[in-house]
């Protein structure tokens, strides 16, 4: 069980390391789109996507070259008429669930959403057991 979990953890964390940028034009990384509505949609999406190189920053806030490639890809797809949901799914498909600061409530995302509650329940029962033994 532990070996399987370790292997799964290794695979999930290695996914972003293997990801590569596409052939998007780098000038779109820092240049705003001409349509304000499209730029707002792209910026909002960029704030919800994690930089796979920095790992703690969104692609909107990161200065890493990989974040610039990801920003350019987001702007290029939004300018091409893609919806923010389809761009998010494309990014998740390319870089893995980890790239999203807002994981889906299914699969691994379900574990992320409910792990704190599960840990709280386990801690409650452990504490209860310890207090009962002390009496």
Q: Where are the domains of the chain?
A: 2-102, 105-135
User: Residue 64 in 3-state DSSP?
Assistant: coil
Which comes out higher in pLDDT, residue 25 or 60?
60
CA distance 85 to 102: 12
Q: Which residue has the higher pLDDT, 20 or 56?
A: 56
Q: Where are the alpha helices (DSSP H) in the chain?
A: 2-18, 36-47, 65-79, 84-95, 108-134
Q: Which of 9-13, 112-116, 122-126 has the lowest mean pLDDT?
A: 9-13
Class of domain 2-102: mainly alpha
pLDDT (mean) for 63-80: 90
Region 88-108: what's the mean pLDDT?
Answer: 80
Instruction: Rank 10-24, 28-42, 71-85 by mean pLDDT and report only the highest.
Output: 71-85
pLDDT of 122 strictly over 90? yes
Q: Please state the pTM of the whole predicted model.
A: 0.58
């Amino acid at each position: 069980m532990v070996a399987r979990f370790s292997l799964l953890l290794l695979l999930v964390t290695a996914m972003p390391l293997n990801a590569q940028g596409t052939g998007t034009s780098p000038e779109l990384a820092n240049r705003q789109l001409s349509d304000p509505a499209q730029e707002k949609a792209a910026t909002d999406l960029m704030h919800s996507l994690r930089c796979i190189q920095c790992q703690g920053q969104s692609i909107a806030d990161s200065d890493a070259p990989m974040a610039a490639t990801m920003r350019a890809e987001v702007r290029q797809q939004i300018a091409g008429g893609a919806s923010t949901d389809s761009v998010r799914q494309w990014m998740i498909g390319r870089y893995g669930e980890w790239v999203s600061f807002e994981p889906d409530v299914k699969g691994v995302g379900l574990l992320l959403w409910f792990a704190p509650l599960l840990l709280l329940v386990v801690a409650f029962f452990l504490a209860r057991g310890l207090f009962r033994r002390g009496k």
